[in-house]
Amino acid sequence: MKTINKLALVLGTLSLCTLFLASCEKKSDDLILSGDCAVVALRLDTIDGVIDNTTKSVSFTLPKNYDPSAMTVTRLAVSDGATCDISEGMVLNMRSARTIRVTHNDAVQLWKMRAEFVVERVDNPKAVYMGIAPSFSQLNIEEQTACQWLLDNVEGSTYASIADIANGQINLSECKVIWWHLHKDGGIDGRTAFESHAADIPNASARLKGYYRAGGAFFLTRYATYLPAYLGEAECFPNNCWGGVEQNAELINDPWSFFATGHTDHPLWQNLVMNEGEDDRIYTCDAGYRITNSTAQYHIGTDWGGYADYDAWRSATGAIDIAYGGDGAIVAWEYPANAEHGAILCIGSGCYDWYSTASAAEHYHANIATITSNAINYLMEK
């Protein structure tokens, strides 16, 4: 059975005085402020907003797979005498949060705008995209792009927050794989930073560990590669982590890649777009792509400390390395399934990236979806 969760494009009021206070800022004693800064009507494309004067919100129900990146304001009405910094005919990118400004004389009010969508909540999912955010639409754009791919391409998939899992609000009894692609602008470096950002993980660890011990599998990418320690594996964390900011992401001049040397037969690396003569080199994005290079990998060598060589790393983590960076760092690894638990696949390479603020060719970047499809299929068969 599927339950339809109605998610909406919400405009929540923000006051210049105090966040979430719905009154305008008063700069003149004789101003009558009631209603002066109201949004009376708003339509984006052909979708009319439903106005709730009690909560000071306007909601738009967007169809599944609707592209919110270029929504045209086709109707706008504000209270008499007020003006707004958007107008009919403007095209808005609603893939990320934005504000509009309503002004009446000396009174000003900011309206917070956030895009949300109609998604299908699967009651007994086969695959779950796990995230920190309460809903799909509140994921950051990198995570949202990845999650949307799963929802569009894997039957029986759904989104669930870590809090949902911790509180038992999602049934994992038929789930074959949980995918967590964790992005944070500026990166996550170290256990303290991870637990600060993913505060619900300690609360959810018992349920996640139970799922894992019952044979459930995990696909962990980017900073989610910290999770195995909370599933009962060796208490080891990636020792080489950093990341940029999405809006200031690096514009690359040449395709980026990592190496599957010695592991080209692994199911993860099959059916990829390859460069002739480079059978072990995995390209993931093309010139003109903007990338945050968000990385959570294992550096190997005495110069860094922790793992003198690959054997030392394997002994400490219990994992198997399956891909490497140009400096020999382990950028992809696996905890194989056995009689006591399921399997875990990890990719901590900064090359594994879903979203770019710049348009670029999809030649090599198509490998990201293929690698992910390979991972999901591989883990579902375990």
**Domain boundary at 55, 84, 114, which?**
114
Count of domains observed in the chain: 2
**In a domain? residue 373:** yes
The pLDDT value given to residue 6: 40
CB < 8 Å & 24+ apart, contacts of 313-320: 316/234, 316/236, 317/233, 317/234, 317/236, 318/233, 318/234, 319/228, 319/233, 319/346
Same-domain status, 137 and 256 = yes
Q: State the CATH number of the domain containing residue 248.
A: 3.40.50.880
In this predicted model, what pLDDT tens digit does every residue of 94-146 receive, in sequence order? 776 667 788 988 888 877 676 666 666 677 899 999 999 988 878 898 998 99
Domain span at residue 42 reads: 2-114
User: Residue 358 — pLDDT band, cuts 50, 70, 90?
Assistant: confident
Q: Do 146 and 190 lie in a common domain?
A: yes
Cα distances (angstroms) measured from residue 221 to each of 18, 37, 218, 257: 38, 44, 10, 16
From 114, 148, 181, give the residue that closes a domain: 114
Span 160-216, pLDDT tens digits: 999 999 999 899 999 999 999 999 999 999 999 999 999 999 999 999 999 999 999
**Tens of pLDDT along 262-294?**
999 999 999 999 999 999 999 999 999 999 999
Q: What is the pTM of this model?
A: 0.74
Of the residues 88, 114, 140, the one at which a domain ends: 114
119 occurs within a structural domain? no
245-251 long-range Cβ contacts below 8 angstroms, 24+ apart = 245/185, 245/186, 245/292, 246/140, 246/141, 246/142, 246/185, 246/292, 246/355, 246/357, 247/357, 249/290, 249/291, 249/292, 249/356, 249/357, 250/290, 250/291, 250/292, 250/293, 251/288, 251/289, 251/290, 251/358
Tokens of 271: 């059916």
How high is the mean pLDDT of the chain?
Answer: 86
Q: At residue 60, does pLDDT exceed 80?
A: no
Under DSSP, is residue 97 helix (H, G, I), strand (E, B) or coil? coil
Specify whether the CB–CB gap between 108 and 24 falls below 8 A. yes
Let me know whether 201 and 315 are in one domain.
yes
**Span 290-308, pLDDT tens digits:** 999 999 999 999 887 789 9
